[in-house]
Amino acid sequence: MPKTPGQKDLTLDQILDWLLDALLERQSARQQHLAKPGAEPAKEDIGPAAPSTGARRPTPSIPSRAPTTPQRLHEPRPGEEGWEPPPWQPPIHLERTLVRFLLLMAALVILVNVPITRYGVSLARLMPDSTLLIIRDGLVLKGSGPEIYILEDYRLRWISSLDAFEHLGLVWGDVHVVEDSFLERFEKGRPIHVLLKCPDSPHIYRLENQHKRWIKDMDTFIAEGHVWEDVRMVSCEYLRSIPDGPPIPEDAGTPPQLD
Amino acid sequence: MKDLAVIETILRNRYHFFIEIRDGVGLGAKMRAMLISSITFLALYGAVLGSTHSLWQALSSAVKMPILFLATLVICSPTLYFFNVLFGSNQSLTQNVALILTAITVTAVLLLSFTPIVLFFLLTTSGYQFFKLLNVGICAISGWMGVLFLSQGMSIVSAAGKEGASARRNVVRLWILLYGFVGSQMAWTLRPFIGAPSMKFELFRQLGGNFYANILASLGELLGFFVVR
């Protein structure tokens, strides 16, 4: 039942009284109908006869449904006719707060970007990487050991030397230090070696663990899966300064000495 | 600092601000103040976003964030203007642009208000997908508040031309949808703003895919359905 203006919430008692009154009215009307001569009893009549109308309970003081007073359908919305903007709010000098807030945030942004480790890692990028990473080819990873790997076709390829690392155009900032368990998710692929050659010598050497390994001939070179693009030209002096490792293949004999 | 005073007027006395736009009072000064404010706020928010990746990314995002909003404004404002004129509006294009700038300014100041929260999550979590979705959510909330302002402003500014007022209201609603679509595509085109941690800094990433597919993929990864490769 819709509320009339000014009507308060009805209590349970009031509602029950209301329902009872309605029932009594209905039963008395039915009895009057039965009292008429020749009247058929109504088929749906069930239950004992209702008390006479004299037994009717006094009507509780329920506020009657008063006709609604004519009111405005709604307040005019902004932009509608008759609408008035709310009064001008007094200034609170928000711009001062904004300037202070801006300066504080700018200082924080600078602060979190200042490198704080010897590898140039800032506070903003100090969190362990492994949950941040998008797994893709070219991802450079390092576990707790010194080995650095590059991901290719979901295989970890060990970068065998610093020269190889540089030859690939990598810098320390590319290396993501992760948990060893993260590295264990991937299979190992072929290592990445850098091949060194100097202009005055026909020989090609493979750099591994800071030792140069002489590659005996072109057949071995190809059999090892190397391509010419892997060969890096360096000065003969630099090449001479690198200690010799075992040749490739290992039964190839004594490595030739650079002049 | 004087230009930042426009923020208080917009936030606390918005109806008077809209009435002044309707009456064409100081439109140039208002637009200049809103431009400066929104560029500053958006740049700072962008810098926070990019800080997750690198200093270059922070600088790049600080430049790209204002471009994102202003380019969307440039692309979308003629549609709003001409459709409004079609349905009986007597506003000028400048008034339309001023209204859209109001929406952008509100969005920008709300984004600025979120920067401490973004910074907090930047320092304390390491979930890239989570961080991305967090910021998409923040941008969506701020953008929504901005377009609500636009809608209010439009109802006041366009009140002078009563004819076709209901049609113009619908135009604004549809335009808001369009603005959202253009904005999201613009964001996708200008990405990265955060910068995937395993990738090198890029000013722009190659096109491909779309914003919505990426958000769904990020949600999928966050909920553990699959891994974004």
Contact: A102, B115; criterion CB under 8 Å: no
Nearest CA in chain A to B162: A80
Q: In chain A, positions 111-170, which contact chain B (CB-CB < 8 Å)?
A: 112-113, 122-125, 127-136, 139
Domain count, chain A: 2
Separation between Cα atoms, residue A90 and residue B16, nearest integer Å: 13
Beta-bridged to residue A211, according to DSSP, are A208
Using one digit for the tens of pLDDT, what is the confidence trace for A195-252?
A: 888 888 888 998 887 788 899 888 888 888 888 887 888 888 888 888 888 888 888 7
Using one digit for the tens of pLDDT, what is the confidence trace for B8-37?
A: 999 999 999 999 999 989 999 999 999 999
CB atoms within 10 A of CB B51: 30
Q: Is residue A161 part of a domain?
A: yes
HSE of B106, CA atoms in CB hemisphere, 13 A: 26
Which candidate, A199, A209, A149, A156, places its Cα nearest to that of A174?
A149
Separation between Cα atoms, residue B60 and residue B193, nearest integer Å: 8
Provide the residue range defining the domain that includes A218.
194-241
ipTM for this model: 0.86
CA distances from residue B208 to A135, B98, B155, B185, B213 in whole angstroms, order as listed = 18, 34, 39, 11, 11
Q: Please tell me if residue B8 touches chain A, with a CB cutoff of 8 Å.
A: yes
Nearest CA in chain A to B221: A134
Q: Is residue A231 part of a domain?
A: yes
Tokens of B10: 């917009």
Separation between Cα atoms, residue A142 and residue B122, nearest integer Å: 23
Separation between Cα atoms, residue B40 and residue A45, nearest integer Å: 81
Contact: B155, A174; criterion CB under 8 Å: no
Q: Which residues of B touch A139 (CB under 8 A)?
A: 198
In the DSSP assignment, the letter for residue A187 is E
Q: Is residue A91 part of a domain?
A: no
Which candidate, A232, A229, A197, places its Cα nearest to that of A214?
A197
**Nearest-by-Cβ selection for B40 from A102, A112, A131:** A102
Separation between Cα atoms, residue A147 and residue B28, nearest integer Å: 61
Contact: A92, B12; criterion CB under 8 Å: yes
- pLDDT level of residue A42 (50, 70, 90 thresholds): very low
In the DSSP assignment, the letter for residue B127 is -
Do A180 and A209 have their domain in common? no
Contact: A127, B125; criterion CB under 8 Å: yes
How much is the pTM?
A: 0.63
**Nearest-by-Cβ selection for A98 from B4, B13, B53:** B4
